[in-house]
Structure 1
Amino acid sequence: MQIGYSYLQRLRSIIGRKLHVTINRRAALTGLAGGLVLRRTEAFSQEANYPSRTVKITVGTGAGGAADTTARVAAKVLSDALGQNFVVENRPGAQGLVALSSFVKERTDGYSLFMLASSQAVLPALYQLPYDPVNDITPIARLTVASVILVVNPELPVKSVKDLVDYAKKNPDKVSYGYQGGPIQIACALFAKLAGFQPVAVPFTASARVTTEMLAGRLTYTVMTGEQAKPLVDAGKLRALATAGKTRALAFPDIPTLEELGYPAYGDGWFGLIGPKNLPKPIVDKLYTAFKDHYYGKQPQHTLVARGMEPADEGPEAFTAFLKANIARWIAAGEQLGISKVKP
């Protein structure tokens, strides 16, 4: 059987086209695989060489507060340990909501970090947040605990929590507390609700104003960190009645906890370093290792303790578990008080 010349030509053309497509497909797949390997190699190199430039740590409050102080100590520790500059940037507003809402959108390369405060853990109890407070971040290390102290003006005839409750029930029109949003608002309101009295709540835009009004005797009580309270209590300008944590504050060892007096503990303040969602584990581990080697139990942490703060030592896993429980507790407290979440 003879096969025509034109048929052979067409057959050769078809085979050639198929062979060409196969070769091109193989080349494309090879190039794709090579590209993936190259990008992975580059990512590994970047993580291994991290940090290779300046790293920013954002603080959601103004300069001079406990969060800012902790952030600046942390920045110094990391700069010395890792050989690159870690700088602090303050972005105050709405208890850190403004800064944190922006931060969760940052690149996950480790060059943008955030000093998370307990006041931001309260935000889910107050707002319909535009981000997930747990899943849109990467906890790295909890660094500091700030004991929360219930204080009154020393001119009042009040020397104990029982005295305060009795005074408040006998003088309902004279009792008020000041707060600057977030945890102080919930803590003061929850204490009053559980104690059975109804004070006047007075909001302020800055915690310094609350302190000023307390010292002037225009407020009955408030809660503040041990760092804030200690110099004022030592000077006789305020009287400390109790601490809100589960254990007594190091700065006030003779002051009972609310739990000792029969009231639920609503917890201490705290500060910890976080990164954006999906921060690579090698970067997380490098940062936490720097804290383990140069901060926990060392002079930088002792410096903060001397200022009235208390030590904390939690890595990524422990900090994540703590954060989830802390947020859940504040949400439950907000619901107990009937707080309606609002859109920011």
Structure 2
Amino acid sequence: MPSTPLRRRRALALLAAPLAGALPWPVAAQERPLALVLGFPPGAGIDALTRQLGERIAPALGRPVIVENRVGAAGRLAAEHVKRTPADGSTLLVAPMAVMTIFPHTYRQLRYDPAKDFVPVAHLAEFGLALAVRADAPARTLQEYVEAVKRDRDMGLYGSTGVGSPSHFFISMFERAAGVSMTHVPHRGSADVMNALLGGHIKAAILTVNDISPQHAAGKLRALAVSAPRREATLPDVPTFKELGHDIEGSFWYGAYAPAGTPAPVVQRLSQALVEATRQPELRAQGAKVGLQLTGGGPDVLARVQKADHDRWGPAIRATGFVAED
């Protein structure tokens, strides 16, 4: 007959077995760090936000949190990686809107399905774009800019952060709304766009509010309109496109996703930690300084926004005839 200590260990094991399913996530996963994976390099805006969130959710989750920068293919490599990871709560994808709503329209053979391969966890933040010209440009308002473009096609030379970027497609929407034809000059990043505009190589730029607002405040650029539904705190004197009679708007966002199949209690626990972190006043204030509005929406909010933006951007993308190279 087994000894008393052995019988006791067996009894405890039997008692613990039913409780294992009630844990927030599998014990093996809980013992590992939580990896927040993003497809952009250190120093990018999404990287800074992810690291700050990681610092704040680690104590709430009772486990280390690390940030993995899997750079490449505008965020697609990171999505492909997270798709293949175990659905046990040990890995989350932190992605910009384009990865989940625009790329499905632009790539013929996307190697992940946003709707099938991921589970929404949290809507983290949103930000807007601004259309700007040099401070010495002849156009002081958006209407004057439209008239200038109609008179002189060179005034329609505008820069963005790349072909197939949200800013590229937003200007496509603006062209149709304003009845103008502009010429897209893609660049590798916002710094290149800014240098080209300040150097006079292009006549306008569509960049994030964070990129435009310091140069607008310094008097080097003139922001003409912002894409968000409401005016931006860092550009309070700049109207929205809708205010100016153009029925277009665009709020861009960051979201967190888990691999498909992650248990609902695990998703809820991770979501709760992220949402609570985004609601901390200090982090919200830091975000506001760089044009980020921290939103803190749960899985249902992220799923709803993702579906709405997927449907809304489809026509704008198809109108350009753009197809991305794999």
CA distance, structure 1, for counterparts of residue 209 and residue 258 of structure 2: 27
Shift of 1:155: 1.9
- Aligned pairs for 1:321-332 (under 5 A) are 321-332=304-315
Contact 2:122 2:275 in 1 (8 A): no
CA distance, structure 2, for counterparts of residue 40 and residue 125 of structure 1: 45
Structure 2 residue 122 is matched with structure 1 residue 144 = no
**What's 1:224 paired with?**
207
- Aligned pairs for 1:234-313 (under 5 A) are 234-313=217-296
CA distance, structure 2, for counterparts of residue 261 and residue 46 of structure 1: 49
**What's 2:53 paired with?**
74
Shift of 1:315: 0.4
Contact 1:134 1:323 in 2 (8 A): no
- Aligned pairs for 1:167-206 (under 5 A) are 167-181=148-162, 182-206=165-189
CA distance, structure 2, for counterparts of residue 279 and residue 263 of structure 1: 42
CA distance, structure 2, for counterparts of residue 55 and residue 275 of structure 1: 11
Shift of 1:197: 2.3
**What's 2:25 paired with?**
47
Contact 1:149 1:241 in 2 (8 A): yes
Query: Which runs of 5 or more residues in structure 1 are unaligned?
Result: 1-36
Aligned in 2, Cα 1:102/1:343: closer, same or farther, shift over 3 Å?
farther
Q: How many residues align?
A: 307
Aligned in 2, Cα 1:130/1:82: closer, same or farther, shift over 3 Å?
same
1:203-227 Cα deviation digits (max 9, x unpaired):
2222321122122121111221122
Aligned in 2, Cα 1:279/1:40: closer, same or farther, shift over 3 Å?
farther
CA distance, structure 1, for counterparts of residue 316 and residue 140 of structure 2: 27
Q: What is the aligned-residue identity percentage? A: 28
Contact 2:121 2:255 in 1 (8 A): yes
- Aligned pairs for 1:109-188 (under 5 A) are 109-120=88-99, 121-128=101-108, 129-181=110-162, 182-188=165-171
Shift of 1:232: 1.5
1:156-176 Cα deviation digits (max 9, x unpaired):
111111011011111113431
Equivalent residue letter for 2:114: P
SS state of the match for residue 125, structure 2? strand
Equivalent residue letter for 2:254: F
Equivalent residue letter for 1:125: H
Query: Which runs of 5 or more residues in structure 2 are unaligned?
Result: 1-14
Please, what TM-score do these two structures have when normalized by structure 1? Answer: 0.82
Please, what TM-score do these two structures have when normalized by structure 2? Answer: 0.87
CA distance, structure 2, for counterparts of residue 214 and residue 86 of structure 1: 39
1:251-271 Cα deviation digits (max 9, x unpaired):
222211101112122312211
Aligned in 2, Cα 1:151/1:53: closer, same or farther, shift over 3 Å?
same
User: Which structure's CA Rg is the greater one?
Assistant: 1
RMSD: 2.2
SS state of the match for residue 76, structure 1? helix
CA distance, structure 2, for counterparts of residue 343 and residue 178 of structure 1: 20
Contact 1:184 1:222 in 2 (8 A): no
1:96-125 Cα deviation digits (max 9, x unpaired):
122212321221111111111123232122
Shift of 1:46: 6.6
CA distance, structure 1, for counterparts of residue 118 and residue 17 of structure 2: 24
